Amino acid sequence: MQNKKTLIIGASPKPERYSYKAHRMLQSHGHDTVLVGSRPGELDGKTIQTGEPKLDDIHTVTLYVNPQIQEKYYPYILNLKPQRVIFNPGTENDAFYHQCNQAGIEAIEACTLVLLSTNQF
């Protein structure tokens, strides 16, 4: 299995959040995660960063923030040049979806947890 370094935007240290569950499942499937949230924190010994940290080699960005919050991340995500952006349920955003496609980034509306569970990640 290939490690697909994944940026989780909307990361939270709260176990009931889907971003938390996604981090845990990504880790259990052997994928490195980078965590960005609205508040600094920690999750499984990893720092939840805020803002737009300088990153390299991001394969996938998985979104857990609503479309209004996504807007401030558009240039950041596009400049990272990931291979794909996953719009999880509740994060669907036609405008950004099309921007990703125009930039040559695969944009999909899917659930990261389901993709991992069905070996489609």
The arithmetic mean of pLDDT across residues 58-87, rounded, is: 98
Residue with tokens 């040559």: 104
Please give the pLDDT value at position 48. Answer: 98
The arithmetic mean of pLDDT across residues 42-53, rounded, is: 96
Per residue in 12-31, pLDDT tens?
Answer: 999 999 999 999 999 999 99
* 3-state SS, residue 79: helix
Dist CA 100 CA 73 (whole Å) = 12
Any domain includes 102: yes
Amino acid identity, position 113: L
Any domain includes 1: no
Any domain includes 106: yes
Q: Which domain holds residue 53?
A: 6-117
> Residue 69 belongs to a domain with what CATH number?
3.40.50.720
Dist CA 36 CA 22 (whole Å) = 13
Any domain includes 15: yes
Any domain includes 12: yes
Q: How many domains does the chain have?
A: 1
Any domain includes 87: yes
| DSSP secondary structure code for residue 119 in this structure | T
